[in-house]
Amino acid sequence: MKTVAILIYAEALESTVAECRRQIDLIPADEYTFELFVNPDLDEAWRAAGERDFYIWLHGLVTPVEGAIYSLLDNSSFLGDRALLVGTVQDGEDRIVSGGFSRNRRLMQPDPVIPVACRMFDGLFALVPQVVYKRIGVLGGRYRGQLAGFDYCMRARKVGYPSVIAPGITCTCPVRPNPDRTLAADFVLDFRTKGIFTAIWYFLRSA
């Protein structure tokens, strides 16, 4: 039996927490045991979880679709539990607003059936297996927002662990995120908070 920590971060909707509880109650207890950690800060939730077989990041304003939690775990098993997995988030107008990014930093469409490799992801709904966590730890607070997820993917890739998009749409969100919150906006945010040299270094590193 494997242990799973679901880390619900940012502003957590009651409906999101309730849907997580409903889904995990449907998963056979002889396969996985679950515990939810709700905290505005993802790293704090992660540290509170301690050592588990899997860690699932879930932004509190998105809702997993039916079977999404089990889908991440099942696809992780298919990949030998040696990859980061990201779910694709769709808004109320059927637009993809979060998930895996290609090498040219474009959001990718998920395959409906099979997991597909991506360059990096922003991490609104993602799975980190224990083997990756033991190697590189938590996010660490160096970046925030999209950059935190991108940085984690690159740290993992550097030590041999790829990022992969789970099949299909795995989450929905009621409101489309601010259209200005693009990679360019994150570059500006990073410039303002950490200085231009840090921002330039990050984007050269991710190229």
pLDDT of residue 141: 62
Q: Per residue in 126-170, pLDDT tens? A: 999 999 999 999 988 666 666 788 889 999 999 999 999 999 999
CB 6 within 8 A of CB 35: yes
Nearest partner of 55 among 138, 136, 117, judged by Cα = 138
Structure confidence at residue 191 (pLDDT): 38
User: The pTM is what?
Assistant: 0.84
165: β partners: 86, 116
Phi, psi (rounded to 5 degrees) for 149: -65, -45
* Residue 10: count of CB within 10 angstroms of its CB: 16
- In which residue are the tokens 């077989």 written? 53
Contact 42, 128 (CB under 8 A): no
In the block, which residue shows the tokens 């539990």? 81
